[in-house]
A and B are shown apart, each in its own frame.
Chain A
Amino acid sequence: MNTKTPLLLKRLLAISFALMLVLLIAMLVGLSAGSTPSGIQALFQSLLGIGEPDSMLDTIIWRIRFPRVLLSALVGATLSLGGLVFQALLRNPLAEPYILGISGGSAIGAIIGILMGFSRFPGVSLAAFAGSVATLLLILAMSSGQTILKKDALLLSGVMVNAFCAAVIMFLVSITQDSRLHNIIFWLMGDLSMIDIGHAGILAATLLPCFILLFWFSNSMNLLLMGKEMALTMGVNIQAVTVALLVVTSFMVSATVSYCGLLGFVGLVMPHLLRLLFGPDHRVLVPACILGGGAYLIFCDVLARVLPEQGEMPAGVITAMIGAPLFIFLLKRSAR
């Protein structure tokens, strides 16, 4: 009879190691690609300090590309993990990290910040963060005390609030006349370029404890999938776990949105892809989402920088263009 653990630990380490390699490769590709030709050789020369120092290339690789690659890894990890947690928490495979009003609320906050003339950091970011907290609280208030559709009350409230926010956003966009319209549109389409190493560092310091905490709850997520009542009878403190998962995940997703705008499909597709590859045990999926999700977004960002002849595409366009067909493919695969 085949049993998975203590092979679990071995499995966990093997998968994590493999994905860490993938992440490393992604980072190398991310640092080598860009609008100025450099290539992998130049990257290694810079890394190892051999050959003639080229300060221009060094600047480009380390001060422009590196923060961006780091941000992509952090955001990809957060969004994938966020999607995974919400899919478990809401017991719905269509859940994604923005579903509890985060996309709507943060967008409205960001747009108001942009219209009021704030600069990206800290003004617009804080406004976006405040917006998503506000909508989350609204949704929690709306869905508390619901007896009908109890399981889906949270989800439905989230969908409703996001839809309403979308209308507000369209209105705000329609009345904006000047160059701030460009800022708004770029924010809505997701923008990994507006980061420097200081901010990336702050974000990393904020997100890493969240990742660790969510890993700590990974077995509880397995049990939650049997239904809240069942999890209760197996010794899970569902109140504490639900609140912790909700708060930590919303916080980390909101934090990334405030840095880089909205990037769709990553949080929806990655959990399903990784579940298809590695099975539904969250103890494996949490690290897989962190590492795999990070690598995925780095690759998407590379495509966004490299595909167009002139300039770059917004990262959100690439994630949607890749994510949607990938999701359909996964749907067909899992139907078998």
Chain B
Amino acid sequence: MAIDVNNLSYSYGNFKVLSDITFSVRKGDFFIVIGPNGSGKTTLMKVVAGILKPQNGRLEILGQPIDQYTRKALARTIAFVPQTLPVDFPFSVTEVVLMGRSPYLGMLGLEQERDLEIARQAIAFTGVEHLAHRKLDQLSGGEQQRVFIARAICQEPEVILLDEPTASLDLAHQVRLLDLMEKLKREKGVTVVMISHDVNLAAMYADSLLLLNKGQIVSRGNPDQVLTFQTLEEVYGCTLLVDESPLGKFPRVTPVPGKFVGKS
């Protein structure tokens, strides 16, 4: 198992955000977490990434409890890609990607030829070679996202965590990003754990889904198991039509606005 979570809970002060979370992520899986806003998805991601410390529960990465990892060892195992990053200072794309090598380098992070090669490959992998000299703040949202992923790839992680990477992207770029993740999983064997707000895209790519609502797990398993209209209607609170997608053997979820209710 890449990730094992047992009875995990997390509270911000008195406000309980996650309760009694238990699930596992298989190695090499494309694991997508879905759920309505405020269900605790980002908090869960940050706990798994080691950014937040849970009040209760056990978390194991590759079979080892997370607090037994040194900071740098954890950084070599898990890479985290946030939704946005601050761009206060004008680092170039190459400089940002190279930062991903720091878990392998000393305090001053003096990069060797090998590190440069890894960075070059990561930049090629994510398709941003033509932007290598540009400053980060000159890029579009989608391009920045790919630079952050290239940086994460440089960490040579076993697991990559992404917090709603498609949130501000248009359709083409959403698909492009998900294809990239699939390529990462296929070619490098990286376990991809991602938060998505788009249930249909999640259905198209995920090996396993985790559905969260109000800080608790509602359902987990493969897309067929999780995306049933009863479960989804209860969680999202609106009328839904779930059928099989014409593109393959996975569910397709269509919201049904009020004006269409009553027609079959």
- A–B contact with Cβ pairs below 8 Å: the answer is yes
Q: Which residues of A contact B (CB under 8 A)?
A: 1-6, 8-9, 91-93, 147, 216-220, 222-223, 225-227, 229-230, 232-237, 275, 279-281, 283
How many angstroms from the CA of A93 to the CA of B110 in the assembled complex? 26
Which label, helix, strand, loop or mixed, suits the secondary structure of the A interface? loop
Q: How far is the CA of A275 from the CA of B115 in the complex (A)?
A: 25
The answer on a CB contact under 8 Å between A91 and B120 is: no
Q: Beyond A6-B111, A230-B82, A234-B100: 14 further Cβ-contacts under 8 Å?
A: A1-B132, A2-B133, A3-B116, A91-B86, A219-B109, A222-B91, A226-B96, A227-B85, A229-B51, A233-B74, A235-B72, A235-B74, A236-B102, A275-B90
Which 8 residue pairs of A and B lie closest in terms of their CB atoms, listed nearest first? A235-B75, A219-B109, A235-B72, A233-B80, A235-B103, A5-B111, A280-B89, A3-B116
Are A234 and B155 neighbours in the complex by a CB distance under 8 Å?
Answer: yes
Q: Are B107 and A219 in contact (CB under 8 A)?
A: yes
How long is the Cα–Cα vector from A275 to B111 in the complex, in angstroms? 21
B99 nearest CB neighbor, chain A only = A223
Question: When chains A and B are docked, how far (Å) is the Cα of A96 from the Cα of B187?
Answer: 47
Q: Once the chains bind, are A234 and B103 in contact (CB under 8 Å)?
A: yes
A93 with B116, Cβ < 8 A, contacts A6-B110, A216-B107 known: no
**How many positions in chain B have a CB within 8 Å of any CB in the partner chain?**
46
B86 to chain A: closest residue by CB: A227
Q: How far is the CB of A286 from chain B (nearest CB, A)?
A: 10
Q: A233-B51, A234-B102, A235-B102 are in contact. Are A6 and B109 (CB under 8 A)?
A: no
A-B contact pairs, 8 of them (CB 8 A): A1-B94, A2-B94, A3-B116, A4-B94, A5-B111, A9-B110, A235-B71, A237-B71
- Which of A6, A225, A237, A283 is close to B108, meaning CB atoms less than 8 Å apart? A283
Given that A91-B88, A93-B88, A222-B99 are known contacts, is A3 also in contact with B75, CB under 8 Å in the complex? no
Are B50 and A5 closer than 8 Å at their CB atoms?
no
Q: Which residues of A contact B123 (CB under 8 A)?
A: 1
Q: Is A230 touching B85 in the complex (CB atoms < 8 A)?
A: yes
Query: Which of B74, B107, B108, B129: most chain A CB closer than 10 A?
Result: B108
For B133, the chain A residues whose CB sits under 8 A away are: 2
Q: Which residues of B contact A223 (CB under 8 A)?
A: 99, 102
| Residues of B with C-beta under 8 A to A222 | 91, 95, 99, 109
Contacting pair B108 A216 (CB below 8 A) = yes
Known: A230-B82, A234-B100. A280 touches B113 (CB 8 A): no
Please tell me if the beta carbons of B80 and A230 are within 8 angstroms of each other in the complex: yes
CB contact under 8 A between A1 and B107, given known A226-B85, A235-B72:
no
Q: Which of B13, B90, B108 contacts A280 (CB 8 A)?
A: B90
Q: How far is the CB of B158 from chain A (nearest CB, A)?
A: 14
Residues of chain B with a CB closer than 8 A to A147's CB: 13
**How long is the Cα–Cα vector from A6 to B113 in the complex, in angstroms?**
7
The answer to whether A3 touches B119, judged by C-beta atoms less than 8 angstroms apart, is: yes
Partner of B120, one of A1, A217, A226, A236: A1
- Are A8 and B110 in contact, CB atoms less than 8 angstroms apart? yes
Chain A residues contacting B155 (CB-CB under 8 Å) are 234
* CB pair A225 B75 closer than 8 Å: no
Neighbouring B residues of A237 by C-beta, 8 Å: 71
**Are A233 and B75 within 8 A (Cβ)?**
yes
* Chain B residues closer than 8 Å to A2, beta-carbon distance: 94, 132-133
Q: Does B112 contact A (CB under 8 A)?
A: yes
Evaluate contact between B79 and A233: CB separation under 8 angstroms: yes
A225 engages B110 (CB within 8 Å): no
Compute how far the CA of A35 lies from the CA of B259 in the bound complex, rounded to whole angstroms.
90
The listed residue with most B CB atoms (<10 A of its CB), out of A220, A235, A237, A275, is: A235
**Distance in Å from the Cβ of A17 to the closest Cβ of chain B?**
18
Interface centre among A1, A2, A223, A283 (most CB of B within 10 A): A1
Q: In the bound complex, do residue A226 and residue B80 qualify as a contact, i.e. CB atoms below 8 Å apart?
A: no
Chain A positions within 8 Å of B51 at CB level? 229, 232-233
Q: CA separation between A147 and B110, bound complex, in Å?
A: 36
Judge whether A226 and B132 touch: CB under 8 Å: no
Q: Which B residues are CB-close (under 8 A) to A232?
A: 50-51, 71
Give A3 to B101 CA distance when docked, in angstroms. Answer: 14
* Contact A218 B82, beta carbon cutoff 8 Å: no
B98 at the A/B interface (Cβ < 8 Å)?
A: yes
Q: Which B residues lie within 8 Å of A5 (CB)?
A: 98, 110-111, 115-116
B33: Cβ under 8 A from any A Cβ: no
Contact A6 B49 (CB under 8 A): no
A150 → chain B, closest Cβ, in Å?
A: 12
Docked-complex contact A226 and B86, CB < 8 angstroms:
yes
Bound-state CA distance A117–B51 (Å) is 53
Most buried by B among A5, A9, A216: A5
Q: Measured between alpha carbons, how far is A211 from B207 in the docked complex, in Å?
A: 52
Q: Of B72, B102, B129, which one neighbours A1 at CB under 8 angstroms?
A: B129
| Chain A CB within 8 A of B162 CB | no
Residue of A nearest to B154 (CB): A234
Chain B residues within an 8 Å CB radius of A229: 46, 51, 80, 82
A226 to B85, CA, bound (A): 6
Inter-chain contacts of B13 with A (CB < 8 A): 147
Q: In whole angstroms, how far apart are the Cα atoms of A9 and B95 in the complex?
A: 15
CA–CA, A283 to B99, complex, Å? 13
Task: Name B89's contact: one of A6, A9, A218, A275 (CB within 8 Å).
Answer: A275
Please measure, in the bound complex, the distance between the C-alpha atom of A230 and the C-alpha atom of B81, giving whole angstroms. 8
